[in-house]
Structure 1
Amino acid sequence: MLGGDGEATEAVRLADLAAMRLLDQPGDAEKYLRQALSCGDGVLPAEHLARLSSQLVMVMSGQQGRERELAAAAQEAAARWTGISAADTVHLTFVAARALHRAGEHAAAVTAFAGPIGSGEAPYPPMEMALVFGQYGRSLKLLGRHREAAGQFLEGERLVQAEPGQAEMQAELAWSAATALDSCGEDDQAQVVYLRAARLWGALGQVSKRARCIRSAAWLQHWASPATSGGPTAMRALLDELEQLERAAPSPAVRTELTYTRRQLVEMEGQ
């Protein structure tokens, strides 16, 4: 049986074997890293163990179907970095949260996201942080926490507003925010954000998504003031726009949106 020094030496040997296989033999690298962590626990310095844990997370990242295992490894690594490197702790906590989100473990994902985001931590560039806010928002929305979800989507949208080439991400986040606001009864704000998303989709040439946002805003306007003609007016304006587009550049997508818009206008005017 190995003593403390012997265990430390064996752990270092296993870690070296893992390092030689990180790029081309990830399965072997993972095996050696797990053995090194087991053998070195309590005998290697805490930072050394934390680095080995980070390497294990790196090896496991990107392997489909292992999100729960990755989350567990990242949470363990984050715990090892606590008190040593705040930046590593935050990064690995986000790795765990995003893996849990992908695994459909939304309650656990929300708990993991809440720590660093609630503390205002933003360790990534704006585009990457917008993705994080989007994932957090979707997990919240799937738990029925629509108002909180809307806040995350709006923050993600804000981050990419000035980022070149990210108009589609901005539009997606705005649309997600609008639907979340709609779901929690924030009708006035939802209407504003639906119309913003519609403008963004229009600039991208996304006819169907633009039309859906406009119809949603029109219904909110109609329900808020059914005695006025605001909702039907917005729906007729969309119908005119789609009819002109069908004459100029007919397509199945435009015809589908025409059908939906005509049907919903009849329904709205019948109320």
Structure 2
Amino acid sequence: MLSGEGESAAEAARLADLAAMRLLDQPGDAERYLRQAISCGSGTLTDEHLARLSSQLVMVMSGQRGRETELAEAAQQAAARWAGISEPDTVHLGLVAARALHRAGRHSEAVAAFAAPLAAHTTPYPPLEMALVFGQYGRSLKLLGRYRAAAQQFLDGARLIATDPAHRELCAELTWSAASALDSCDADDQARDTYLRAARLWEELGQISKRARCVRSAAWLEFWSDPAQPGGPAAMRELLTELEYLERTAPSAVVRIELANTRRQLADMQES
């Protein structure tokens, strides 16, 4: 190594040490030192050393609100540095970038950023965290009008946590989101089945209102497939019976509201 390169490497190491001492209590200073270390060490430090410094920079920035776009850029640069060195780090940092773009409302860029790390078919996080990732990806896709692709992401996320009772509520939310996305792309049979699946999950959680809304959505899809059904769709009639029973045995404001909504919508169907 030439003397100038040696001096640059030494200065980069010094700056990295200064950053390490400030990571927890002075993130602004740590970020500044890390950026200087990366700049100073480019061309002199090893690729892996630069990648580690870039990861530290992302870690410092990730705790600061309102900097999602900057965080995404830093994470993408760090992912590029880890490429060919460590696939798990490349995937993790690619997802950090995608999630930051999602939070920033830059959904077209987020969708592109999610695609590459998820295509690696690795699971860098536990099932709950991966379910949240799929949910964010699905929401970005849905906001872009890519409903069928969004539904697949929601379903993949729900599937990861389907057997864990501790995450039943998130599973229900993801399943409901999948049903709504399928409803939006005219996949009526799949949407109806998925609404009913979400309704069963909400029933397990004792969520009367959310269960009723899912059942009514499924009933409307059933109705439009066969408007001539006597008395309206079976799902709607069964829901009405359940809510009337609850009104007699365990009355509440929620039950009264959902019972009124169900009666009104069933009447709309019967008048159509």
Contact 2:151 2:178 (C-alpha < 8 Å) held by counterparts: yes
Structure 1 residue 198: Cα displacement: 0.3
Contact 1:219 1:231 (C-alpha < 8 Å) held by counterparts: no
Structure-to-structure mapping, 1:112-151, within 5 angstroms: 112-151=113-152
Measured in 2, the distance between the counterparts of 1:168 and 1:110 equals: 25
Contact 1:53 1:77 (C-alpha < 8 Å) held by counterparts: yes
Contact 2:179 2:195 (C-alpha < 8 Å) held by counterparts: yes
The number of equivalent residue pairs is 270
Structure-to-structure mapping, 1:32-181, within 5 angstroms: 32-181=33-182
Structure 1 residue 247: Cα displacement: 2.4
In structure 2, what residue type is equivalent to 1:203? E
- SS of equivalent to 2:78: helix
Is residue 29 from structure 1 mapped to residue 12 from structure 2 by the alignment?
Answer: no
Is residue 209 from structure 1 mapped to residue 210 from structure 2 by the alignment?
Answer: yes
Structure-to-structure mapping, 1:259-270, within 5 angstroms: 259-270=260-271
TM-score, normalisation: structure 2:
0.96
Is residue 224 from structure 1 mapped to residue 225 from structure 2 by the alignment?
Answer: yes
Q: Deviations over 1:1-55 (max 9, x none)?
A: x932222111110000000111121111111111111111112111111000000
Distance 1:164 1:241, change over 3 A: closer
In structure 2, what residue type is equivalent to 1:23? L
Measured in 2, the distance between the counterparts of 1:107 and 1:177 equals: 19
Which residue does the alignment assign to 2:21? Answer: 20
- SS of equivalent to 2:166: coil
Q: RMSD value over aligned CA atoms? A: 1.4
Contact 2:12 2:40 (C-alpha < 8 Å) held by counterparts: yes
Which residue does the alignment assign to 2:238? Answer: 237
Distance 1:111 1:222, change over 3 A: same
In structure 1, what residue type is equivalent to 2:226? S
Q: Deviations over 1:157-209 (max 9, x none)?
A: 11111123111111011101100111111100111110010010011010110
Measured in 2, the distance between the counterparts of 1:94 and 1:164 equals: 26
Distance 1:91 1:133, change over 3 A: same
Gaps of 5+ in 2: none
Contact 1:232 1:269 (C-alpha < 8 Å) held by counterparts: no
- Identity, % of aligned positions: 70
Measured in 1, the distance between the counterparts of 2:266 and 2:117 equals: 46
Q: Deviations over 1:57-105 (max 9, x none)?
A: 1111132111111111100100111111111101100110111111111
TM-score, normalisation: structure 1:
0.96
Is residue 256 from structure 1 mapped to residue 251 from structure 2 by the alignment?
Answer: no
Measured in 2, the distance between the counterparts of 1:91 and 1:18 equals: 22
Contact 1:14 1:33 (C-alpha < 8 Å) held by counterparts: yes
Measured in 2, the distance between the counterparts of 1:123 and 1:230 equals: 51
Structure 1 residue 231: Cα displacement: 4.2
Contact 1:127 1:163 (C-alpha < 8 Å) held by counterparts: no
Gaps of 5+ in 1: none
Which residue does the alignment assign to 1:199? Answer: 200
Contact 2:154 2:178 (C-alpha < 8 Å) held by counterparts: yes
